[in-house]
Amino acid sequence: MHPQASEITPRALVENRRQALQHLLLGAGTLATPWAIGQTQALGKLPALAHKPSQVPGAQALDKPSAYQDATGYNNFYEFGTDKSDPAANAHTLKTTPWTVDIEGLVKKPGRWALEDLMALGAMEERIYRLRCVEGWSMVIPWVGFSLAELIRKVEPLGSAKFVEFVSLADPKTMPFVGSRMLQWPYTEGLRLDEALHPLTLLAFGMYGEVLPKQNGAPLRLVVPWKYGFKSAKSIVKIRFTEKQPATAWNQAAPQEYGFYSNVNPAVDHPRWSQASERRLGEDGLLAKRRKTLPFNGYEAQVASLYTGMDLKKYY
Ligand code: MTE
Show pLDDT as tens, one digit a residue, over the chain (316 residues): 765 544 444 343 344 444 444 433 433 333 334 444 444 579 999 999 999 999 999 999 778 999 999 999 999 999 999 999 999 999 999 999 999 999 999 999 999 999 999 999 999 999 999 999 999 999 999 999 999 999 999 999 999 999 999 999 999 999 999 989 999 999 999 999 999 999 999 999 999 999 999 999 999 999 999 999 999 999 999 999 999 999 999 999 999 999 999 999 999 999 999 999 999 999 877 778 899 999 999 999 999 999 999 999 999 9
Amino acid at 273: W
Does the predicted TM-score (pTM) go above 0.85?
yes
Query: Which CATH number, 2.60.40.10, 3.40.50.720, 2.40.50.140, 3.90.420.10, labels domain 5-307?
Result: 3.90.420.10
The vertex-192 CA angle with 187 and 197, nearest 5°, equals: 105
- How far, in Å, from the CA of 29 to the mean position of ligand 1? 32
Contacts of range 250-257, beta carbons closer than 8 Å, 24 or more positions apart: 250/1, 250/2, 250/183, 252/183, 252/184, 253/2, 253/182, 253/183, 253/184, 254/2, 257/2
Beta bridge partners of 221: 204
The full set of domain ranges for the chain reads 5-307
- How far, in Å, from the CA of 81 to the mean position of ligand 1? 11
262 lines ligand 1 (CB under 6 A): no
227 lines ligand 1 (CB under 6 A): no
Q: Which atom of ligand 1 is nearest to the CA of 183?
A: 6
Among 101, 191, 230, say which to mutate for ligand 1: greatest number of ligand atoms within 8 Å of CB: 230
35 lines ligand 1 (CB under 6 A): no
Of 81, 253, 84, 83, nearest to 180 by C-alpha is 81
Backbone angles phi, psi at 191, to 5 degrees: -135, 155
Residue with CA closest to ligand 1 atom 3: 234
Q: Which atom of ligand 1 is nearest to the CA of 234?
A: 1
79 lines ligand 1 (CB under 6 A): yes
